[in-house]
Amino acid sequence: MTMPSSAPTLIAPSPAAFTEDGRARTYEVRTFGCQMNVHDSERMSGSLESAGYVRAATGEEADVVIINTCAVRENAAGKLYGTLGHLKSVKDKHAGMQIAVGGCLAQMDKDTVTQKAPWVDVVFGTHNMGSLPQLLERSRHNGEASLEILESLEIFPSTLPTKRDSHYSGWVSISVGCNNTCTFCIVPSLRGKEKDRRPGDILEEIKLLVDDGAIEVTLLGQNVNSYGVEFGDRQAFSKLLRACGEIEGLERVRFTSPHPAAFTDDVIDAMAETPNVMPQLHMPLQSGSDKVLKDMRRSYRSKKFLGILDRVREKIPNASITTDIIVGFPGETDEDFEDTMRVVEAARFSSAFTFQYSIREGTPAATMPNQVPKAVVQERYERLMALQQRITLEENEKQLGRTLEVLVSTGEGKKDSSTHRLTGRAEDNRLVHFEVPEGSETPRPGDVVTVTVTHAAPSHLLADSTDGAPLKIRRTRAGDAYDRSLVDSCAVPSTPGTGDGKVGLGIPTLRIGL
């Protein structure tokens, strides 16, 4: 069996990254889909910047637009081709503009993209993100579309240069692909069988992130708790969590997503016993009906699922547990749906990502009989949403009066300017909007504030001052990294090797300056 290379991947400067007068061409990456897509987009950005491209300023019309697609979400194709239709009119007026399409939908549709949108210049798949600069150069040189879809992974994406979106938090892939055969999911056929990274490579990437100022990481995989099966260690994931606890400067560790069938007590113990592993668990339920779970090929049943939650809460009483649920899977009866409602009531999820089932071509579920009528699915969906919203509010109300440590974030408080609040995430990942009293120092993104919850809503918590006292702020190395990023953005040199104006390779000791 050929293993993907884990050696650092160097991206050479590309002539296509510059205009005839020597100006660096600008790029924009638009991301559709899950956390894995977001992290993939960071790799695409890093590869482009290593080749000589520069990120377009907000609101600026980019010379190169890359669309990183998802094939899992509903109407994924419609969203892609609608976006491409709009970009055609932009490209017609923008001399030399290039459009590239990558990701899961590109992997699945292959030639279809250029057939439906012949103005697209580059199409690439999930297995060859690092080829993007080369494909853009080839397309520009030949004056025609360049299409390259590999059927298997040749290098781990984590070896590619990376342009991180956050200075205080980062994604770290521990594996790619998936060995499960869920009948509703297209991911295994698009991303391939699971391939695990070596623990040492993962830990070194985390240390690099911490060196650059990050204090939080999220471990990513299609099924993180099956990590290690490929190299014969079924406790590899719990060992990895414990090893993260030994990394100096790393304050918060999260992971997504585990599979209930492979979730073991050693992982629960590692979560409970490793201080920087956060009291948060995202555990996809998908359905509370054992019959539907069988039809989905989800190799667990509702009793086992609830048993896992009980054991997590026994060891981690303050754990926040979230989930994914599909409503209206083929053959789902009223009784099946009521089973889901009962399990949701018993599980007391902090929140749930709830989806109406829709056909995904290429999956076994797409051709199953007894597809549920849209009107029935909608009615069930609304009932489940109402139930979960009630539970979420009740669980959030239990936070009233609690003192929380909140990591200050950027871009999550859409009304902060009008409410005069800032926003961050508690240790259990709840969204918290907090007041900065008049005269108080203002925390930086990446700093940690200590606040008391004064109000609960279904989607967030509020922490307003009750006495006007200055905000309790702990300045962090992540906040320092934010300061350096501001210096870098003003073109003032910062300390060498620091700041987030660098493109990291994902492997320490090798860095490419912009």
Same domain for 414 and 388: no
Same domain for 128 and 81: yes
Same domain for 418 and 392: no
- Count Cβ atoms within 10 A of the Cβ of residue 388 and give its class: 0-12 exposed, 13-18 middle, 19 or more buried: buried
CATH number assigned to the domain comprising residue 464: 2.40.50
pLDDT score at 492: 44
Per DSSP bridges, beta strands 98-103 and 122-124 are parallel
- Looking at the domain assignment, is residue 510 inside a domain? no
pLDDT score at 11: 78
pLDDT score at 155: 58
Same domain for 378 and 249: yes
- Looking at the domain assignment, is residue 505 inside a domain? no
CATH number assigned to the domain comprising residue 305: 3.80.30.20
Which residues carry a binding-site annotation?
34, 70, 104, 178, 182, 185
Q: What is the pLDDT tens value at each position of the chain, 514 positions in all?
A: 455 555 566 778 899 999 989 999 999 999 887 777 788 888 888 889 989 999 999 889 999 999 998 776 656 778 888 999 999 999 999 999 999 998 888 888 777 888 999 999 999 887 788 789 999 999 998 988 888 877 666 656 666 666 677 889 998 999 988 889 999 988 777 777 888 999 999 999 999 999 999 999 999 998 999 999 888 899 999 999 999 999 999 999 999 989 999 999 999 999 999 999 999 999 999 999 999 999 999 999 999 999 999 999 999 999 999 999 999 999 999 999 999 999 999 999 999 999 999 888 889 999 999 999 999 999 999 999 999 999 999 999 999 999 999 999 988 888 887 888 999 999 999 999 999 999 999 999 999 999 999 999 999 999 999 999 999 999 999 999 999 888 766 544 443 333 334 444 333 333 332 2
Per DSSP bridges, beta strands 216-220 and 252-256 are parallel
Alpha carbon separation from 336 to 95, 179, 347, 381 (Å, rounded): 56, 27, 17, 13
Question: Is 98 in a helix, a strand, or coil?
Answer: strand
Same domain for 170 and 134: no
| Domain edge (last residue) among 344, 371, 398 | 398
Partnered with residue 326 across adjacent β-strands are: 355
Same domain for 221 and 183: yes
Same domain for 406 and 345: no
CATH number assigned to the domain comprising residue 91: 3.40.50.12160
DSSP sequence for 203-222: HHHHHHHHHTT--EEEEE-T
- Looking at the domain assignment, is residue 468 inside a domain? yes
pLDDT score at 47: 87
- Looking at the domain assignment, is residue 192 inside a domain? yes
- Looking at the domain assignment, is residue 156 inside a domain? no
How many residues does the structure list for the chain? 514
Same domain for 379 and 406: no
- Looking at the domain assignment, is residue 153 inside a domain? no
Structure tokens at 511: 């860095």
| Domain edge (last residue) among 376, 398, 420 | 398
CA–chain centroid gap for 45, Å, is: 15
| Domain edge (last residue) among 369, 398, 427 | 398
Same domain for 378 and 422: no
Which residues carry a binding-site annotation for [4Fe-4S] cluster?
34, 70, 104, 178, 182, 185
CA distance 273 to 245: 9
Domain that includes residue 475, residue range: 402-489
The closest alpha carbon to 396, from 360, 430, 347, belongs to 430
State the total domains in the chain.
3
Same domain for 367 and 285: yes
Same domain for 301 and 261: yes
Same domain for 227 and 196: yes
- Looking at the domain assignment, is residue 154 inside a domain? no
- Looking at the domain assignment, is residue 280 inside a domain? yes
